[in-house]
Amino acid sequence: MENILLITCFLYVSADTHTLQYLYTAVTPGLTDFPEFTAVGLLDGEQFMFYSSSNRSLIIKDWIKKTNSETYWRSETQDMRGNQDTFTNTFTTAMKMFNYSEGDHTLQRMFGCERDDDDDVTTRGYDQYGYDGEDFISLNLTTVTWTAVKLQAVTIKHTWESKGSNKHQKNFLERDCIDLLKKYNRDTLNRKVVPEVSVFQKHTPSPEVVCHATGFFPKALNITWQKDGEDVHKDVELRETLPNQDGSFQKRSILKVPAEELQKHIYTCVIQHSSLKKELVREVPKDGGSDGGSDGGSDGAPIAIITAVVVALVAVVAGIVVWKKKNSGFKPVPPKPSSEGDSSTNNS
């Protein structure tokens, strides 16, 4: 599909800023195996929900599902089904405005809010649409009006404003969205979970020792090595932090060291994490076994790592789609009376 711009959404979130973001995508139905509509929710850059028109079900990650009741999530599922219908109707209207009756096309929406840890003094919201990879229409929270970036969006702008969707969406972004963000932050992001740590040896293709920490939260964790109490920096490979299915994280560090060195000296793995009152130290076993838990398998990553990779791929393919944003911002298109018709749509 030439017109779909698939980009992994890497969000920078500073230590004192939190974000709640939703990404909607609609594609021309029936032309590919890609679902007609998908939605992804991100909390501080981490995916917490996914919805697809293929089964009209809302999949919620366990770590955030606990913040609300089953009744609440059932209601959210019903709301998302309504959002799907409204969004695909908007897509159909946009195709008519562009006079497109065939071919591959996409409508994308990115909206959400962010707040700083300063008692709600600093908050921001946004709601932007893109059609076939280009800016289409966006909400101006200062003027509380929709800004038509493309001429074809003018009719949609007037229809939405006549129904008051601009005021409704401003209220959602500046109040409801912020309230949800605060709740999710309080219930999920401020918790501290101690890591489970295991140390084990691997002998192929070359001798090395692995220190694996998993199940911890928050994300920041440091792994270092020591030899007879002295820090070791050479021949150390620190892997990236990966997410687990339950919202916790895992990380591993690999130290290449000859087997005879392990017998002569005491090697230890040192873990530092905010959930620990003091650093956690695990000694490398000299018998080639494991200290502290399962070795995760000798021929690759543990199941949790594989699962994390699969989840990440699903997120990219299924809904994390954004369009190129120009640094200069949106350029409003002046409405032309002749371009306005009787077509109607609603904001999702």
Q: How far apart are CA 179 and CA 182, in angstroms?
A: 5
What is the rounded average pLDDT of the residues 343-348?
47
> Both tokens of residue 251?
């990380």
Give pLDDT, residue 291.
57
Q: Is 248:63 a contact under the CB 8 Å cutoff? A: yes
> Both tokens of residue 77?
């599922």
> Both tokens of residue 298?
């000798």
pLDDT, tens digit, for every residue of 88-144?
999 999 999 998 877 889 999 999 999 886 655 667 899 999 999 899 999 999 999
pLDDT(73) > 80: yes
Give pLDDT, residue 339.
39
pLDDT confidence bin for 63, thresholds 50/70/90: confident
pLDDT, tens digit, for every residue of 203-257?
766 789 999 999 998 889 999 999 999 999 988 999 999 988 777 899 999 999 8
Give pLDDT, residue 2.
37
* Least confident range of 9-13, 48-52, 200-204, 267-271: 9-13
pLDDT confidence bin for 34, thresholds 50/70/90: confident
Treating both helix axes as pointing N-terminal to C-terminal, what angle do 154-162 and 70-97 enclose, rounded to 10 degrees?
A: 140
Higher pLDDT, 259 or 276: 276
DSSP β-ladder status, 145-148 and 236-238: unpaired
Sign of the torsion formed by the C-alpha atoms of 308, 311, 313 and 315: negative
What is the rounded average pLDDT of the residues 304-333?
42
Three-state secondary structure string covering the chain: CCCCCCCCCCCCCCCCEEEEEEEEEEECCCCCCCCCEEEEEEECCEEEEEEECCCCEEEECHHHHCCCCHHHHHHHHHHHHHHHHHHHHHHHHHHHHCCCCCCCCEEEEEEEEEEECCCCCCEEEEEEEEECCEEEEEEECCCCEEEECCHHHHHHHHHHHHCCHHHHHHHHHHHHHHHHHHHHHHHHHCCCECCEEEEEEECCCCCEEEEEEEEEECCCEEEEEEECCEEECCCEEECCCEECCCCCEEEEEEEECCHHHHHHCCEEEEEEECCCCCCEEEECCCCCCEECCCCCCCCCCCHHHHHHHHHHHHHHHHCCCCCCCCCCCCCCCCCCHHHCCCCCCCCC
Domains, the chain, ordered by start = 17-190+312-339 (3.30.500.10), 196-310 (2.60.40.10)
What is the rounded average pLDDT of the residues 31-49?
87
Count of other CB atoms within 10 angstroms of residue 163: 14
* Least confident range of 11-20, 107-116, 238-247, 311-320: 311-320
Instruction: Please give the model's pTM, rounded to 2 decimal places.
Output: 0.66
pLDDT confidence bin for 320, thresholds 50/70/90: very low
Q: Which of 6-10, 11-15, 190-194, 239-243 has the highest mean pLDDT?
A: 239-243
Give pLDDT, residue 314.
45
- Mean pLDDT for all residues in the chain: 79
pLDDT(340) > 80: no
pLDDT, tens digit, for every residue of 139-189?
999 999 999 999 999 999 999 999 999 999 999 999 999 999 988 877 776
pLDDT, tens digit, for every residue of 187-204?
776 778 899 999 998 876
